[in-house]
């Protein structure tokens, strides 16, 4: 048989290049990427609101995002869920002059997407629309914010929907896992851990919504607008909408922990008849007070090596080498209001959950004691740097990042020098970060699964889970009352 050799060529910029024999041998020019400076597009308007405006005429669309102080940390005792309901019914409940039906009809006619949400420390609202009707949509959007009706029937509907959602919160092991883990680590009354009940939702009235709405004020808030707009005109329009805001703020700021909760390390088990056990292990870390502290970048690189991706130690050991879990990750959740958390988590068969937990703790210890290799360090830093532009791949994405920065006080120099800071991280800095911020002996380990199978296989493999702390069995809770379910 005659041997035929085929050479494939492709054209790039008029240059003919041979395709290499293997994808790993592909070579690309270095990516040139620079960030826009948010100072060039940021203005301060009435009530000390930071207004970010960026023109993008590629499509006839406008996107507006608003971040104000006023999250669920303001929920009164006994009315957990009030912030969430306020945000929901502000959007669905009409305005002073428009019934809910009229508001929805007008938004639909304008093809405007208007939404609201809250998290533990902020109230947020969004508007997406065509640039040709932006003025009308902007007026409708701010009428919703400044003149909400909080229609009683819509409130009733939203309360019913929330209660239906509560009924399902034991359906998924992850829901149980994070509820119990957050309670154990933060404490039940912490803004990051509070859970509502059917009784609390039913107790919330229309007047409660109006009272909470009064706490939502634009002072020191952030508004970002990007799209097919004239920047010179937008500033005046937004400033006018803000100037006559009906509420002014005596909002307690910043959010704070009312009590210092001391978590108790150990293993906490919630029994659930499922084939796989969900596991989370971790502890509190530190309050983010200096974004430019070099240790922050060492933490990022360290976590990339530990559990940040497909090439991480946790993923390689628990999934690739042992085949015990489909996915395993570790993350640092930072906060500027209170100490954040470090968490590692996975799901594994009941029979292998104890072994996978043992391996996870071993890898946490090794991260503290073993030096990272030059190959690990190079790959981690390269991966972080290569992914960096994705945060800013569109002008809209970049503006949203800068808006968040304004709200939480993260300086632009954090991003401007980010890649350099990552590149400067050394193996010694990674090891120090692991020793400073990962503490297996302080870990709260929560397991949601069938304990009889977990324990049997642990004993068969001579794995003593008590080496990681005392084992405490927690009750499965009624999804509506959060009271222990009677066995």
236 with 351, same domain: the answer is no
Mean pLDDT within 106-123:
97
Q: What is the average per-residue pLDDT within 26-42? A: 83
Residue 221 CA to residue 135 CA, distance in Å, equals: 21
Predicted confidence at residue 31, as pLDDT, reads 67
Percent of the chain with pLDDT over 90: 88
The reply to whether 94 falls in a domain is: yes
pLDDT, tens digit, for every residue of 128-144?
Answer: 999 999 999 999 999 99
**Does residue 273 share a domain with residue 237?**
no
Pick from 13-17, 129-133, 272-276, 326-330: least confident = 13-17
Whether residue 28 is contained in a domain is answered as: no
Q: Is 482 within a domain?
A: no
Q: Looking at residue 5, what is its pLDDT?
A: 34
- What is the dihedral sign for C-alpha 257, 261, 265, 271? negative
Residues 126 and 239 in one domain: yes
Closest by Cα among 267, 442, 431 to 353: 267
pLDDT (0 to 100) of residue 15: 46
Q: What is the 3-state secondary structure (H, E, C) of the chain?
A: CCCCCCCCEEEECCEEEECCCCHHHCCCCCCCCCCCCHHHCEEEEHHHEEEEEEECCCCCEEEEEEEEECCHHHCCCCCCCHHHHHHHHHHHCCECCCCHHHHHHHHHHCCCEEEEEECCCEEEEEEEEEHHHHHHHHHHHHHHHHCECCCHHHHHHHHHHHHHHHHCCCCCHHHHHHHHHHHHHHCCCCCCCCCCCHHHHHHCCHHHHHHHHCCCEEEEEEEEEEECCCHHHHHHHHHHHHHCCCCCCCCCCCCCCCCCCCCCCEEEEEECCCCEEEEEEEEECCCCCCCCCHHHHHHHHHHHHHHCCCCCHHHHHHHHHCCCCCCEEEEEECCCCCCCEEEEEEEEEHHHHHHHHHHHHHHHHHHHHCCCCHHHHHHHHHHHHHHHHHHHCCHHHHHHHHHHHHHHCCCHHHHHCHHHHHHHCCHHHHHHHHHHHCCHHHCEEEEEECHHHHHHHHHHCCCCHHHHCCEEEECCECCCCCCECCC
Q: Domain containing 182: what range?
A: 38-243
Q: Are residues 155 and 297 in the same domain?
A: no
Is the pLDDT score of 33 beyond 80?
Answer: no
Are residue 288 and residue 391 in the same domain, yes or no?
yes
CATH number, domain of 85, equals 3.30.830.10
Residue 220 Cα distances to 48, 67, 146, 212, angstroms: 5, 9, 17, 18
Q: In what order do the strands lie in the sheet with 276-284?
A: 328-333, 341-349, 276-284, 444-449, 266-271, 471-474
Q: Are residues 65 and 135 in the same domain?
A: yes
Neighbours of 473 (CB within 10 A): 10
Indicate whether 239 and 360 sit together in one domain: no
What is the number of other CB atoms lying within 10 angstroms of the CB of residue 119? 16
pLDDT at position 90 over 60: yes
pLDDT exceeds 70 at position 326: yes
pLDDT tens profile 233-256? 999 999 999 999 987 767 889 998
The span from the CA of 480 to the CA of 168, in Å, is: 9
238 lies in the same domain as 313 = no
Phi, psi of 275 (to 5 degrees): -80, -20
Written as six digits, the tokens of 440 are: 């297996």
| Model confidence band, residue 12 (pLDDT cutoffs 50, 70, 90) | very low
Inside any domain, residue 30: no
Q: Is the pLDDT of residue 291 over 90?
A: yes
Q: Sorting pLDDT into bands at 50, 70 and 90, what band is 27?
A: confident
Q: Are residues 321 and 432 in the same domain?
A: yes
Look at residue 58 and tell me if it is in a domain: yes
Q: d(Cα 330, Cα 301) in Å, to the nearest integer? A: 12
Is residue 95 located within the same domain as residue 225?
yes
Same structural domain, 291 and 182 = no
How confident is the model over 32-36, as a mean pLDDT? 79
Residue 163 in domain: yes
pLDDT-derived band at 1, boundaries 50, 70, 90: very low
**Residue 8 scores a pLDDT above 90:** no
Last residue of a domain, one of 173, 208, 243: 243
Domain end position, chosen among 243, 278, 313: 243
User: Is the per-residue pLDDT at 300 higher than 90?
Assistant: yes
Look at residue 29 and tell me if it is in a domain: no
- Is it the case that residue 16 has pLDDT exceeding 60? no
Who contacts 266 (Cβ-Cβ below 8 Å, separation ≥6)? 444, 445, 468, 469, 470, 471, 472
Report the alpha-carbon distance of residue 293 to residue 173 in Å, rounded.
Answer: 37
Instruction: Evaluate whether residue 486 is within a structural domain.
Output: no
Q: How many domains does the chain have?
A: 2
Residues 170 and 308 in one domain: no
For the stretch 262-271, pLDDT in tens is: 899 999 999 9
pLDDT per residue as tens digits for the range 329-365: 999 999 999 999 999 999 999 999 999 999 999 999 9
Reply yes or no on whether the pLDDT at 51 is more than 70: yes
Please tell me the distance from the alpha carbon of residue 372 to that of residue 428, in angstroms, as a whole number: 8
9 confidence band (pLDDT: 50, 70, 90): very low
Which tens digit of pLDDT belongs to each residue from 394-451?
Answer: 999 999 999 999 999 999 999 999 999 999 999 999 999 999 999 999 999 999 999 9
Predicted local distance difference test score (pLDDT) of residue 3: 36
pLDDT digits (tens, 9 = 90+) for 189-203: 999 999 999 999 999
Do 85 and 209 meet the contact criterion of CB atoms below 8 Å apart? yes
């Amino acid at each position: 048989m005659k041997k035929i050799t085929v050479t494939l060529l492709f054209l790039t910029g008029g240059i003919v290049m041979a395709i290499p024999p293997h994808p790993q041998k592909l070579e690309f020019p270095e990516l040139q990427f620079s960030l826009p400076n948010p100072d060039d597009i940021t203005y301060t308007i009435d009530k000390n609101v930071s207004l970010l405006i960026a023109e993008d005429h590629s499509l006839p669309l406008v996107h507006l995002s608003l971040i104000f102080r006023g999250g669920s940390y303001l929920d009164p005792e006994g009315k957990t869920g009030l912030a969430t309901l306020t945000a929901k019914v502000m959007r669905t409940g009409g305005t002073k002059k428009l019934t809910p039906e009229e508001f929805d009809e007008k938004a639909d006619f304008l093809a405007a997407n208007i939404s609201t949400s809250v998290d533990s420390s902020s109230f947020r609202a969004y508007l997406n629309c065509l640039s040709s009707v932006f003025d009308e949509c902007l007026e409708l959007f701010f009428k919703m914010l400044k003149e909400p009706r909080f229609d009683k029937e819509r409130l009733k509907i939203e309360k019913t929907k929330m209660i239906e959602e509560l009924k399902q919160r034991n359906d998924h092991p992850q829901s149980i896992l994070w509820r119990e883990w957050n309670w154990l680590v933060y404490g039940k009354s912490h803004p990051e851990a509070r859970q509502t009940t059917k009784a609390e939702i039913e107790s919330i009235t229309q007047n409660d919504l109006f009272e909470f709405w009064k706490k939502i004020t634009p002072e020191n808030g952030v508004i970002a607008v990007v799209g097919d707009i004239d920047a010179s005109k937008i500033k005046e329009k937004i400033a006018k909408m803000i100037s006559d805001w009906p509420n002014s703020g005596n909002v307690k700021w910043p959010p704070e922990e009312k009590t210092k909760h001391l978590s108790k390390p150990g293993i906490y088990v919630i029994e659930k008849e499922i084939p796989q056990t969900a596991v989370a292990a971790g502890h509190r870390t530190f309050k983010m007070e200096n974004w430019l502290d070099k240790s922050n970048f060492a933490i990022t690189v360290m976590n990339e090596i530990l559990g940040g991706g497909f090439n991480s130690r946790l993923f390689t050991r628990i999934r690739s080498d042992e085949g015990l879990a489909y996915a395993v990750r570790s993350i640092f959740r930072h906060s500027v209001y209170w100490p954040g958390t470090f968490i590692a988590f996975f799901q594994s068969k009941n029979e292998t959950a104890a072994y996978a937990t043992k391996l996870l703790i071993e890898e946490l210890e090794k991260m503290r004691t073993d030096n990272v290799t030059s190959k690990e360090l190079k790959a981690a830093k390269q991966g972080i740097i290569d992914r960096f532009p994705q945060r800013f791949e569109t002008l809209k994405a970049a503006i949203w990042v800068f808006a968040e920065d304004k709200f939480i006080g993260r300086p632009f120099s954090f991003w401007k020098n980010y890649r350099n800071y990552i590149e400067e991280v050394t193996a010694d800095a990674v090891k120090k970060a692991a020793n400073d911020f990962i503490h297996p002996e302080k870990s709260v380990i929560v397991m949601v699964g069938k304990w009889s199978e977990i324990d049997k296989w642990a004993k068969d493999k001579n794995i003593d889970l008590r080496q990681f702390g005392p084992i405490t069995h927690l009750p499965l809770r009624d999804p509506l009352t959060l009271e222990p379910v009677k066995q």
